[in-house]
Structure 1
Amino acid sequence: MPRLYFFIGLMCLVRSDTDETCLTFTRLSLHSAVVGTRLNVKLLLYTRRNLTCAQAVNSTFLGNLNVTKKTTFIIHGFRPTGSPPVWMMDLVESLLSVEDMNVVVVDWNRGATTLIYSQASGRTRNVAKILKEFIDQMLVEGASLGDIYMIGVSLGAHIAGFVGELFYGQLGRITGLDPAGPLYNGKPPQDRLDPSDAHFVDIIHSDTDALGYREPLGNIDFYPNGGLDQPGCPKTILAGLHYFKCDHQRSVYLYLASLTENCNVTTYPCDSYRDYRNGKCASCGTPPQEACPIMGYYADNWKDYLKEKDPPMTKAFFDTAEENPFCIYHYFVDIITWNKNVRRGSITIKLRDRDGNTTESKIDHQPATFQKYHQVSLLARFNQDLDTVAAISLVFSTGTVTGPKYKLRILRVKLRSLAHPERPQLCRYDLVLTENIETVFQPILCPKLRM
């Protein structure tokens, strides 16, 4: 009997990695980045049963992973300071809040933590091989490749692509959050993420002029604010490290915002950001909003994509606000003028509801050309959505500080919501705008056209 007690006590003391109560993401330091680390991949499993307490899993131990459910892998990127990604747990919890699934955090911090970016990049294929071994075991246990979803951030996006390539493009979906550009721009498809790596590949490009990949990489590529400078991010190096990573990380926070119920970010397929800003691509079908792709988690609901087995690569553009939930509400401002001479300038429009709430849009990215009896349709973007519009104000400007003040004689102005096309269109007739002077008016319902 004493031997039995001794044996039980010994078994309680000996605990393998897979039996660890709560596995945590590897936390390293700048010192580790300087001296370098060897690749060591940990897989952290979260489910609704263990939402805040990760379980260690590997290719020989699947733990609580339910192979009949969807499994989402989160793969981080380059970690030059060794710290865990600040957004990681928010993403885990948000994913589990919208769907009962397995979430596997791919912790390759020992390998991504280095001051030498090329070293981290050189380890991406080895990470992919480890993930393949794990997924192979999932398949043995009855999982389906179609139920596997990979979310890769920066270098992690290309890791997801390499995994997809190892499974001949049969993964269900890959989302690339600002896939890394350095060492990957211009590479052939087999050396980076590409549309053939999964049944559906969607990308959010938020830093194409620095750390992100420039060209399209997926079935649909989303370009917030043109994929360049993001609103709310520092404009100068005086902001320190935040200056370098803010645009790059914005893709993650936009994706996170798509998991909340605050708003769905509608995007507009277009050839260029310029065409989108000029209002040339603000309709996706009939009714218009139903056919427009939604950025983020629900991007795979895009019905135009689902109609085709091999859809063309599509670029979609949209603008965002500076802060979460980042939603911008689009309106068309249709203006018909009756000036004898051509007028060129910008329009600032302000909306006010009955409670006094206001929202403003300055449409000045490109001067509009107003010709007699020609309609000009301007795309206005507002940070706030007003259910009812009680008053509208307009300011016309040619951009000149000195010289005569021009007038813009408006035959009709019409306001129509893109976010809510079911709302009534608002009109006003016979207005005269004096340059740089605000003109306020109460709109009336536009008459319905008889067919």
Structure 2
Amino acid sequence: MGHILVFGTHDFLRVPMLRLCFLISLLCLAKSDTDEACPSFTRLSFHSAVVGTGLNVRLMLYTQRNQICAQLINSTALGSLNVTKTTTFIIHGFRPTGSPPVWMEELVQSLLNVQEMNVVVVDWNRGATTVIYTHASGKTRKVALILKEFIDEMLAKGASLDNIYMIGVSLGAHISGFVGEMYAGKLGRITGLDPAGPLFNGKPAEDRLDPSDAQFVDVIHSDTDALGYKEPLGHIDFYPNGGLDQPGCPKTIFGGMKYFKCDHQMSVFLYIASLQNNCSISAYPCDSYRDYRNGKCVSCGVGQAVPCPLLGYFADNWKDYLLDKDPPMTKAFFDTAEKKPFCMYHYFVDIVSWNKNVRRGFITIKLRGEDGNVTESKIDQVCSRSKIQAQGPANEAEVPGPSRQASLVSL
């Protein structure tokens, strides 16, 4: 027997609507599946920052096999994470506009290009996005607890704390410290990139990043007079250009938003440069930037495999030497160029006086670069410091010292 379908007037009106709703549902499901298959960093708006966001932490795994398309993982699903390899966590900081960090993708790719590892991006943009800084800083310990839960699962599957590396930017540096504290400092390494200063300056060690949070803690301070933390926080603390105003960054408010964040972000760009270029940035252990600029810190120690500490990813080459110090904390200084790859050649001018008679005059110093470019600088009797600069990092030099006879010694 056949079946007869009977529709009323309202039914005919309803059928197209049902089809439309069904179609929309399919489209939504398709989009959702695509997003889950290849998730990206949470993108929010300034409106979200004004309204405020509740905390939601997403962990996105990148490996050499999936460098572009991340895999969402959590404490109950580690995905393709290989627990036998180094796992590097990247933790961002305060996000007052809700936008993704401009440096995140480049940092992930650069890490994967230098070593086979797991790279886990810790996306806590929902939580970090707010115009009220205290709201974001107040969530840092909650983020740390979520990360500990995930790492506990890694350990249960055979991972080692020795292979855990955390790179924390701004507030992310202190989050890394909180995680390390919960493991009694047994994490392999923490790198703090301009750790946040506001609300953390002057706090006791348990309330911020400190050397006891990991087996090795290295820190880059690039904005100590504003958004960053001034005092040492690690086994070695790097202070590019003294940790203050960075070359290439706007000096006035007319530079727009870049004026507020450029110095703070420079720590990240310097770290990335350490992964990408043949021009390694060496730093010089010293008590102060003034002493460094006055040529008082020209020796980095005897018997080191690496003559001087290297900035960034390879800073741990000095790990054993630093940990043998008492106390095991070192400040290191260096200067940078305005643009990538940021590295500069440094020269020390040793002045030899032939007699005690005061004579007036000046000394001209010329430097010739590998490309044949020549630059010169005059040192007169008044100036105690001169800076020689030429195009390209290989042709830039810092020349401290008074006038008289000079011998040029490459550091």
Aligned equivalent of 2:193, options 174, 177, 194: 177
Cα distance, 1:341 vs structure 2: 4.1
- Determine the C-alpha separation between the residues in 1 that align with 2:37 and 2:356: 79
Residue 298 of structure 1 is matched in structure 2 by: 314
Aligned equivalent of 1:237, options 243, 246, 253: 253
Residue 6 of structure 2 is matched in structure 1 by: none
Cα distance, 1:18 vs structure 2: 12
Q: Which amino acid aligns with 2:295?
A: G
Residue 352 of structure 2 is matched in structure 1 by: 336
Change in Cα spacing, 1:285 to 1:142, as seen in structure 2 (3 Å) is same
Q: Give the 5 Å matches for 1:144-223.
A: 144-223=160-239
Whether contact under 8 Å (1:151, 1:157) holds in the other structure is: yes
Secondary structure at the counterpart of residue 24 of structure 1: coil
Cα distance, 1:234 vs structure 2: 0.3
Secondary structure at the counterpart of residue 302 of structure 1: helix
Range moving further from structure 2, 324-333 or 73-82: 324-333
Whether contact under 8 Å (1:71, 1:104) holds in the other structure is: yes
Aligned equivalent of 2:281, options 243, 251, 265: 265
Q: Which amino acid aligns with 1:352?
A: R
- Determine the C-alpha separation between the residues in 2 that align with 1:204 and 1:349: 32
Identify, as 1 or 2, the structure richer in helix: 2
Q: Which amino acid aligns with 2:151?
A: I
Q: Which amino acid aligns with 1:265?
A: I
Secondary structure at the counterpart of residue 333 of structure 1: strand
Using the aligned pairs only, state the percent identity: 73
Residue 408 of structure 2 is matched in structure 1 by: 415
Match status 1:255 vs 2:271: yes
- Determine the C-alpha separation between the residues in 1 that align with 2:343 and 2:284: 14
TM-score, normalised by the number of residues in structure 1: 0.78
Residue 425 of structure 1 is matched in structure 2 by: none
- Listed one character per residue, the Cα deviations across residues 173-209 of structure 1 (whole Å, up to 9, x for unaligned) are 0000000000000000010000000000000000000
Residue 385 of structure 1 is matched in structure 2 by: 394
- Listed one character per residue, the Cα deviations across residues 326-377 of structure 1 (whole Å, up to 9, x for unaligned) are 001011222324465446998663312586412456779x9439xxxxxxxx
Change in Cα spacing, 1:188 to 1:355, as seen in structure 2 (3 Å) is closer
Secondary structure at the counterpart of residue 291 of structure 1: coil
Q: Which amino acid aligns with 2:83?
A: V
Residue 132 of structure 1 is matched in structure 2 by: 148
Change in Cα spacing, 1:342 to 1:309, as seen in structure 2 (3 Å) is closer
Match status 1:28 vs 2:55: no
Change in Cα spacing, 1:333 to 1:28, as seen in structure 2 (3 Å) is same
Q: Which amino acid aligns with 1:86?
A: V
Whether contact under 8 Å (1:44, 1:107) holds in the other structure is: yes
- Determine the C-alpha separation between the residues in 1 that align with 2:85 and 2:151: 14
Secondary structure at the counterpart of residue 84 of structure 1: coil
- Determine the C-alpha separation between the residues in 1 that align with 2:171 and 2:70: 23
Whether contact under 8 Å (1:359, 1:384) holds in the other structure is: no
Residue 314 of structure 1 is matched in structure 2 by: 330
Change in Cα spacing, 1:287 to 1:35, as seen in structure 2 (3 Å) is same
Residue 61 of structure 2 is matched in structure 1 by: 45
Whether contact under 8 Å (2:306, 2:317) holds in the other structure is: no
Secondary structure at the counterpart of residue 42 of structure 1: strand
Residue 136 of structure 2 is matched in structure 1 by: 120
Change in Cα spacing, 1:318 to 1:288, as seen in structure 2 (3 Å) is farther
Q: Give the 5 Å matches for 1:83-98.
A: 83-98=99-114
Q: Which amino acid aligns with 2:243?
A: G
- Determine the C-alpha separation between the residues in 2 that align with 1:325 and 1:60: 41
Aligned-pair Cα RMSD in Å: 3.1
Residue 117 of structure 2 is matched in structure 1 by: 101
Change in Cα spacing, 1:298 to 1:239, as seen in structure 2 (3 Å) is same
Aligned equivalent of 2:290, options 252, 261, 274: 274
Residue 97 of structure 2 is matched in structure 1 by: 81
Change in Cα spacing, 1:249 to 1:82, as seen in structure 2 (3 Å) is same
Range moving further from structure 2, 337-346 or 310-319: 337-346
- Determine the C-alpha separation between the residues in 1 that align with 2:387 and 2:300: 15
- Determine the C-alpha separation between the residues in 2 that align with 1:343 and 1:114: 63
Whether contact under 8 Å (1:222, 1:295) holds in the other structure is: yes
- Determine the C-alpha separation between the residues in 1 that align with 2:186 and 2:285: 26
Identify, as 1 or 2, the structure richer in strand: 1
Q: Which amino acid aligns with 1:196?
A: S
For structure 2, the residue ranges without an aligned partner over 5 or more in a row are: 1-25
Secondary structure at the counterpart of residue 290 of structure 1: coil
Secondary structure at the counterpart of residue 385 of structure 1: helix
Whether contact under 8 Å (1:332, 1:380) holds in the other structure is: no
- Listed one character per residue, the Cα deviations across residues 267-323 of structure 1 (whole Å, up to 9, x for unaligned) are 000000000011111111347893311010000011553662876210000000001
Secondary structure at the counterpart of residue 188 of structure 2: strand
- Listed one character per residue, the Cα deviations across residues 193-249 of structure 1 (whole Å, up to 9, x for unaligned) are 000000000000000000000100000000000000001100000111100000000
TM-score, normalised by the number of residues in structure 2: 0.85
Whether contact under 8 Å (1:345, 1:368) holds in the other structure is: no
- Listed one character per residue, the Cα deviations across residues 361-409 of structure 1 (whole Å, up to 9, x for unaligned) are 6779x9439xxxxxxxx8977754369xxxxxx9x99xxxxxxxxxx7x
The alignment of Structure 1 onto Structure 2 pairs a total of residues equal to 380
Change in Cα spacing, 1:14 to 1:309, as seen in structure 2 (3 Å) is farther
- Listed one character per residue, the Cα deviations across residues 11-68 of structure 1 (whole Å, up to 9, x for unaligned) are xx79998992111100000000011100000000000010000000000000000000
Residue 391 of structure 1 is matched in structure 2 by: none
Q: Which amino acid aligns with 2:410?
A: S
Cα distance, 1:414 vs structure 2: 1.6
